[in-house]
Amino acid sequence: MKVVVCIKRVPDTETHIRISETGTDIDTRGVKYIISPYDEFAIEAGLRVKENMEGGEVSLLTVGASEAQETLRNGLAMGADKATLLRADSYMDGLGTAKALAVELKNSNAQLILFGVKAAGSDQQQVGPMVATLLDLPCVTGVSSFKFGDTVVICRREIEGRVEVVEADLPAVLTITKGEYEPRYASLKGIMAAKRKPLEEREASFNQSGIRIEKLSQPPTRGAGRILEDGPDAVPELVRLLREEANAL
């Protein structure tokens, strides 16, 4: 089966984010970039499809600046077979990204197109469903695990208070969330092999954005924690505060 996993290069979730002087972007100096963690679930899911079916191909696709080649190579090191970078140098919103991806995916013959449920860092949760719409394919979001029937994919979604099982005709678009697919470590041999795998960079066929970021600012700093007395004597006060101040009870 041919699987395409769409991934995004994002600042490391451990990075301390600073706002750049323009006030509309983050300060990228000293920032380490990673594959968005949800996209790592998607890569893992794709690799397992290939392993379980003992065949097929997992390719990676991203829209971004040339630096995203490094991100793709990280995914190749995990075990994907090949990668394509659609270069877009200016900011793209969800729809712009989806359009660029859809042009590429249209003739890809992919049976399964995987995304992370959202990109860490921007949290928009748009691109997967938009790509599905543009390609007129069924889309299942927030999938924690899936398996295949004859011509369908059967997805498990863990939603508020229940588990939903959804069946979608293939080809399909899935967005993957934390669940079954704990991402593997890239082995050191995999890292060395990644250098030799095909990685293509092309101009994205679409690079426009209908949305502009007006302003970025730091969230308010969290106040310091408070320590009540030690031991059981502190419990009544703790319960009172949880009820009256934190409204947690």
Partner 1 sequence: MARFQGIDFYDLDALFSEEERMIRDTVRSWVEDRLMPIIGQAYHKHRFPTELIPELGELGVLGANLPEQYGCAELNNVAYGIIMQELERGDSGVRSFTSVQSALVMYPIYAFGSEEQRTGWLPKLASGEAIGCFGLTEPDFGSNPAGMITTAKQTSDGWLLNGAKMWITNGSMADVAITWAQTSEIGDVKGIRGFVVPTDTPGFSAKDQEGKLSLLASDTSELVLQDVELPDTAMLPGGSEGLKNPLMCLTQARYGIAWGAVGAAMACFDEALSYSKERLIFDTPIGGKQIQQVRLADMLTGITQGQLLCYRLGRMKDEGTMTPQQVSLAKRANCDMATNVAREARRLLGANGILVEYHSMRHMANLESVYTYEGTHDVHSLILGQALTGISAF
Paired residues of 173 in beta bridges: 113, 139
**Minimum distance of partner 1 from residue 34's CB (angstroms):** 8
Specify the residue, 72 or 174, whose C-beta has the smaller distance to partner 1.
72
Residue 16: CB minimum distance to partner 1, A: 10
DSSP H helical ranges for 54-181: 68-78, 94-106, 127-135
Residue 108 CA to residue 113 CA, distance in Å, equals 10
Tokens at 122, concatenated = 């921007």
Closer residue to partner 1, CB minimum distance, 72 or 98: 72
**Which CB, 74 or 97, lies closer to partner 1?**
74
**Sequence-separated (6 or more) residues with CB below 8 Å from residue 150:** none
Element (H, E) at 242: helix 235-244
| 26 vs 193, beta carbon nearer partner 1 | 193
We find the least distance from the C-beta atom of residue 199 to partner 1, in angstroms, to be: 12
Q: How far is the CB of 229 from partner 1 (least distance, A)?
A: 18
Site residues (CB under 8 A) for partner 1?
Answer: 14, 32, 70, 73-74, 77, 185-192, 194-195
Dist CA 75 CA 40 (whole Å): 8
